A and B are shown apart, each in its own frame.
Chain A
Amino acid sequence: MTTYIVRRVLLAIPLLLIVSFISFLVVDLMPGDYVTRLEANPIISQETIDRFRAEFGLDRSVLARYGRWITSIVTRWDFGRSFDTFLPAFDTLFLGNRLARTLLISSTTILFMWLLAVPLGVYAARHQRRFGDQALTVAGFASLSVPGFVIGLVLLWLLAGPLNVGAIGLGVGGLLDQEFAGARLSWAKVANLLWHLWPIWLVVGLSGAAGLMRYTRGSLLDEFDKPYVLTARAAGLSDRAVVYRHALRNAINPLISILGMQLPRLVAGSLIASKVLGLETVEGALWNAIVRRDPYVIMSGLLFFGAFLMLGNLFADLLLAWTDPRIRLD
């Protein structure tokens, strides 16, 4: 197992290098650079602008800059600096609690998706073609089809307008209300956190949950067709035992294999959520860097998400191997 993990990680490094080079090229393709915004200021002279460019190293060729960047990563673990803050690129991306916040959002959303989808999928499969299943089918498709930002907009409006939650503190715009920001952990703080999280779960994870529910249902139904299920029923086992103790366990396997595919959607969904609901996440910071043409932050961000996806896929594969003894890591 360890050799497998090590091999995967080592293999990923050249891939990450390629991703970084592609990102570098694409970022360079963007018209204008960080200094362009400065140029619109009437007071600043051409001399100063040229100076800024030289200072930021923007006057050198693409390959030269890429080479310097890679060298600085390899020798000093220095991913470059943000032109905005002059802090290291990753410090800017992860300013304050951003990383923790982003990971908290991602992990709780995945939990939400599974806790919502699997039980509903099981219910739908057990009551196939009856009213419950049909209702869930319609609801599932509807949820699959709503874009995340629409959910976010409507929620925002609901919370601010008709529901008017003003007094309790808005459920959006940050993960905690003012008063809890620096406070110590308490039940009230956790409650406040959850109150801010649930709109995020809906925006980021609702469509994923709906898809997962459909998959669960389908996968479970396939299990129901299999001989061992018929045998178990014939042997007199209750429906509950058949489903939960036997069929479900096997049905879960294909679901885990698509866990890896959920990750890019998680990243995209977080980006949308951070724009619409007003959260500062690492995706949001990357977006800001793209708008401001802050090259090292953009590339570090792309690298980070590349690594995030790779690790996520690795984790999903390991999880799959653990749950399904038939799968051999090779």
Chain B
Amino acid sequence: MTQPQRGEGVDRRTGDKNRRVGGGAVWSAFRRHRLAQVGTAILVAFVLLSAFAEFLSPYTPSDQNSAYTYAPPTRLHFRDDGDFRLLPFVYKTRSVVDPETHARTFVEDKTTRYDVRFFVRGEPYRLLGLFPTDVHLFGVRAEDGSADARILLFGADRFGRDLFTRTLIGSRVSLIVGPFVILILLPIAALAGGLSGYIGGTIDVVIQRIGEGFMMIPGLPIVLVVGAALSGRGLSPILTFLAVMGTLAIVGWARVARVVRGQVIALRETDFVTAARASGAGDLRILLRHVLPHTTSYLVVTATLLIPGTMLTEASLSFLGYGLREPLASWGSLLNAAADVTVIGQYPWMLIPAGFIIVSVCAFNFVGEGLRDAFDATKRWRAGRASR
């Protein structure tokens, strides 16, 4: 069997002759991975939704209206009395309270019609944080300006706030939190694992012991305690939240460091490292400029795979009330309001943010899988190395 040249090889499992190797190979393998495609597409879509959240939402997250308590999603119609209309519209909804059961039902008033308009003027905001404007993608407006015209695509919560708007705005925190935690965790883990593996000796032992200590800290309870410790100290809610999430990073670095250490130990003996050492380069320099970059593949994959777990933890924390608190919103905290059997039974649209969590976590998982498969596939062809 001929040695695969740079840029070509044979996939032993499928006999595919078109496999490539090297950096470009990783990218093309990733691109072909079907799940990764789906995942990337979803993530890009969510990032765009998140960035343009104010533009895409008809209202602001705190815009409340007590007449719309727990209103169901507004129905879009295209057909009015048999006439088909090009643009969708909604009917005016009235709430009727049953005097005996105090149950509130929403009834469509088919005599009044509000057209859905596009590019309407609404609450002012800064597009992408930079450009002040007040244009929203869509909205409804009553001629007389009354508040009876409301388009609630995902329904409303207990205070009549539009769940669609809150979900979109909430996506910002939910999507940022994973990368934020990972960006703190990875450098710590890489440095600790790298030093530990490269220098060895006492430093190795010390770092490993410290790491074991950190691995014994029960994650969620400690984060809860920190969350309780930080609340009410006059810190802004967002800062408190970030500190709580930071704790997650501090609690979790040890495991990643351990694997980095293993990789670094293996890399320590390779030719290029010996060469660098012979040329008189310092340990730290070698570590940072030569060794760690070769662990990138592992780190990238780990990062993408740690993000889903972090997102789920944030959702759980916010759900429990110790993560992001009112009036800020993340998908997890939006679900806190749905944590009631009667609420789910009567107002199931309150669970919509759960769907967003599931889809975005799935997407991160797909991307991570795709990256891992891509790196693994190329690893197989590295001359002289087994796949594990």
A–B direct touch, CB within 8 Å, in complex?
A: yes
Query: What's the minimum C-beta distance from A220 to chain B, rounded to whole angstroms?
Result: 13
Asked if B362 lies at the interface with its beta carbon under 8 angstroms from chain A, I say yes
Does the CB pair B357–A19 fall under 8 Å? Answer: no
Does the CB pair A222–B229 fall under 8 Å? Answer: no
Could you tell me the distance between the alpha carbons of A47 and B224 in the complex, rounded to whole angstroms?
Answer: 32
Return chain A residues, CB-CB under 8 Å to B308: 144-145
B216-263 contacts to A, CB under 8 A, are 216-222, 224-226, 228-233, 255
Asked if B315 lies at the interface with its beta carbon under 8 angstroms from chain A, I say yes
Return chain B residues, CB-CB under 8 Å to A12: 212, 216
Please judge, given known A-B contacts A150-B351, A309-B218, whether A290 and B225 are in contact too, CB under 8 Å. Answer: yes
A206-231 contacts to B, CB under 8 A, are 207, 214, 222, 225
Could you tell me the distance between the alpha carbons of A319 and B341 in the complex, rounded to whole angstroms?
Answer: 42
Could you tell me the distance between the alpha carbons of A18 and B215 in the complex, rounded to whole angstroms?
Answer: 12
Return chain A residues, CB-CB under 8 Å to B226: 26, 29
Please judge, given known A-B contacts A142-B358, A290-B228, whether A147 and B215 are in contact too, CB under 8 Å. Answer: no
Does the CB pair A15–B225 fall under 8 Å? Answer: no
One of A53-61, A110-118, A182-190, A299-307 at the interface: A299-307
Q: What is the count of residue pairs linking A and B with beta-carbon distances less than 8 angstroms?
A: 144
Could you tell me the distance between the alpha carbons of A30 and B316 in the complex, rounded to whole angstroms?
Answer: 21
Could you tell me the distance between the alpha carbons of A145 and B365 in the complex, rounded to whole angstroms?
Answer: 8
Does the CB pair A30–B229 fall under 8 Å? Answer: yes
Does the CB pair A268–B362 fall under 8 Å? Answer: no
Contacting A144 at CB < 8 Å: which of B215, B228, B354, B362?
B362
Chain A contact residues: helix, strand, loop or mixed: helix
Asked if A69 lies at the interface with its beta carbon under 8 angstroms from chain B, I say no
Query: What's the minimum C-beta distance from B216 to chain A, rounded to whole angstroms?
Result: 4
Contacting B222 at CB < 8 Å: which of A26, A32, A141?
A26
Could you tell me the distance between the alpha carbons of A290 and B359 in the complex, rounded to whole angstroms?
Answer: 33
Please judge, given known A-B contacts A147-B319, A261-B255, A290-B221, whether A268 and B313 are in contact too, CB under 8 Å. Answer: yes
Asked if A43 lies at the interface with its beta carbon under 8 angstroms from chain B, I say no
- 1/0 per residue B290-334: CB within 8 Å of A? 000000000000000000100011011001100000000000100
Could you tell me the distance between the alpha carbons of A306 and B220 in the complex, rounded to whole angstroms?
Answer: 12
B24-60 contacts to A, CB under 8 A, are 35
Asked if B366 lies at the interface with its beta carbon under 8 angstroms from chain A, I say yes
Asked if A74 lies at the interface with its beta carbon under 8 angstroms from chain B, I say no
Return chain A residues, CB-CB under 8 Å to B279: none
Asked if B12 lies at the interface with its beta carbon under 8 angstroms from chain A, I say yes
Does the CB pair B221–A31 fall under 8 Å? Answer: no
Could you tell me the distance between the alpha carbons of A27 and B345 in the complex, rounded to whole angstroms?
Answer: 38
Contacting B233 at CB < 8 Å: which of A31, A267, A301?
A31
Shortest Cβ distance from B319 into A: residue:
A149
Give chain B's interface residues, CB within 8 Å of chain A: 12-13, 35, 209, 212-213, 215-222, 224-226, 228-233, 255, 308, 312-313, 315-316, 319-320, 332, 335, 338-339, 341, 344-345, 351, 354, 357-359, 361-362, 365-366, 369, 387-388
The contact sample of 19 A-B pairs, CB cut-off 8 A, is A15-B216, A19-B213, A22-B217, A26-B222, A27-B229, A31-B229, A144-B361, A147-B316, A149-B335, A150-B354, A150-B357, A154-B351, A157-B344, A160-B341, A207-B312, A264-B219, A290-B225, A301-B221, A306-B216
